[in-house]
Amino acid sequence: MANMNDVAKRANVSRGTVSNYINNVRIKEASRIKVEEAIKELAYIPDVGAREFKTNKSSNVVFILPTVWNPFFSELTYQLQIKLKEKGMKLILCNSQDDYRAEIEYLEIAQQNKVFGIISISYSDIMPYLTSKIPYVAIERYYNEDIPYVTSDNEGGGKMAVNELIKKGCQKLLHVTRQVDGNNALIARKKGFEEACKEQNADYEIFNPKTSSAAFHEDIAIFLKEAFNKGKQFDGIFCATDRYASYCQDALSDMGIDIPEDVQIIGFDGSQSYATEKLKISTIRQPVEKIAQEAVNLLIAVVNKDKQQNSIVLPVTFLDLKTTKSN
């Protein structure tokens, strides 16, 4: 296989000129044309590994997230990889399965491989202590003012859901969420819900058990059945995720309750399972593509030590779909 010397010889330039070309250092226009011709003729493939080893610059970004197997995360992963590619970078995918020991392993891999940086969605507290030596951007999680992060306006989204439900005639509101340590997004959505209910003087309740993700489907069904049996006629439910909204939908349908006639539901995320899916659950949509773009921009700014804002909070929007009444 041709090497850099072969290219230099064929192009009749110095090896340094070829090296500069490969490393994107400007060279004379006439030399550039000759080098490009020689590369083409010799089918020369630059050894990126060698270059990155010598220059100590990697183009790999480690992306740590609970699991790519979930509509919101798969859309986000898709968008992140496309945005990184536009900057000539690669995405190394790391599913942590919500296990902080796996996160630590991935951080070690990132350190050992001297990656460009890390983008992560983590609910464990261990992350910021371990990443001090590697450029790092968090998504959805605020640790402290030193750790840059990108998030949707979760609190604003919670308020928006309450205001929409009340505008659509709901009088007894319920918030369905789950206690997950370190999940700031869920906490902020709950805070927004409560504040808006208080502002609007609305009658409300919150179902917020500390339970596993797997058991929550069943927990919701039991809670709703008991509540309605006791005469608690909720007519508007804000769920902290679309998945929880679909659990509520299942439970209420089994109880013979009509959605949206008897009960209106608004979820959170607005992520399709695939790009052309028609969503059915009314929801607060997170700007996933924008989150991905801002996370990439922020990571590059951190690496380049550009001064810029350390936290980015992006606006959400309401999608008025089939689980709410049309005005």
Site residues (vs a copy of itself, CB under 8 A): 45-50, 52-53, 58, 60, 67-71, 73-75, 77-78, 81-82, 90-95, 97, 108-109, 111-114, 213-214, 217, 243, 250, 272-278
Least distance in angstroms from the C-beta of 98 to a copy of itself: 11
Least distance in angstroms from the C-beta of 288 to a copy of itself: 10
Indicate the DSSP class of residue 13.
S
Least distance in angstroms from the C-beta of 246 to a copy of itself: 8
Least distance in angstroms from the C-beta of 55 to a copy of itself: 11
Distance (Å, whole) CA 172 – CA 236: 6
Distance (Å, whole) CA 316 – CA 216: 25
CA proximity to 193, closest of 249, 238, 142, 233 = 238
| Backbone angle region of 97, left / alpha / beta, with phi > 0 → left and psi within -120 to 50 → alpha | left
Least distance in angstroms from the C-beta of 199 to a copy of itself: 34
Q: Which residues contact 200 (CB under 8 A, 6 or more apart)?
A: 162, 163, 166
Distance (Å, whole) CA 282 – CA 268: 8
Cα 167-172-178 angle, rounded to 5 deg: 105
Least distance in angstroms from the C-beta of 78 to a copy of itself: 4
Residue closer to a copy of itself by CB (options 278, 307) is 278
Residue closer to a copy of itself by CB (options 210, 278) is 278
Residue closer to a copy of itself by CB (options 272, 297) is 272
Least distance in angstroms from the C-beta of 295 to a copy of itself: 15
Residue closer to a copy of itself by CB (options 35, 197) is 35
Residue closer to a copy of itself by CB (options 114, 167) is 114
| Backbone angle region of 66, left / alpha / beta, with phi > 0 → left and psi within -120 to 50 → alpha | alpha
Distance (Å, whole) CA 15 – CA 237: 68
Helix (H) or strand (E) segment spanning residue 268: strand 264-269
Residue closer to a copy of itself by CB (options 6, 195) is 6
Residue closer to a copy of itself by CB (options 278, 305) is 278
Residue closer to a copy of itself by CB (options 56, 229) is 56
Distance (Å, whole) CA 244 – CA 207: 11
DSSP helix/strand/coil, 152: strand
Least distance in angstroms from the C-beta of 113 to a copy of itself: 5
Distance (Å, whole) CA 191 – CA 290: 24
